[in-house]
Amino acid sequence: MSKRAKKNEQAAADEANDNGTEPATKKGKKAKEPEAPILYEDPPDKLTSKDGRAANMKITSWNVDGLRAWVKKKGLDWVRQEDPDVLCLQETKCAEKSLPADITSMPEYPHKYWAGSEDKEGYSGVAMLCKTEPIKVSYGIGEFLSWSILKRQHFDI
């Protein structure tokens, strides 16, 4: 407490004693109301198109920040509940040879595609799981098949 605040407090106490009343107490700040919990439900206006047609495909994307930990934290339970037609996962951080069996054996998604760093195992990585087979799946960035090919073609590495 600053000297000025102490001085003002003492003056208020002295004045109250002179008047024979109790000193006024300061009102504390009100605590912030907790925010409402985040609900992961589709808003009703997103279930139909602008012209009123029902949605016919659900695509979900999730940055899992580590596939094995995400599976242990019941991420697949959420996927089964939401039941997307296409599931895109980023930052899987898992080499294809060490993918959890829980995700590789999902019969709901017979079409599974994985891509990760060829240079650093367990670094970055993406996945796409589909109920129906895509017309075409391309790996890499545009015409480049991978970062290592990009480096060889455009840099002296």
**Is residue 143 annotated as involved in ligand binding?**
no
99, exposed or middle or buried, with CB in 10 Å at 0-12, 13-18, 19+? buried
Per the rule left: phi > 0, alpha: psi between -120 and 50, beta: everything else, 67 is alpha
* 116 contacts: CB under 8 Å, gap ≥ 6: 92, 94, 95, 96, 122, 123, 124, 125, 126
Alpha-carbon distance of 91 to 122, in angstroms, equals 9
Give the 3-state secondary structure of 54-101: ECCCCEEEEECCCHHHHHHCCHHHHHHHHCCCEEEEECCCCCHHHCCH
Binding residue numbers for Mg(2+): 63, 91
Binding residue numbers: 63, 91
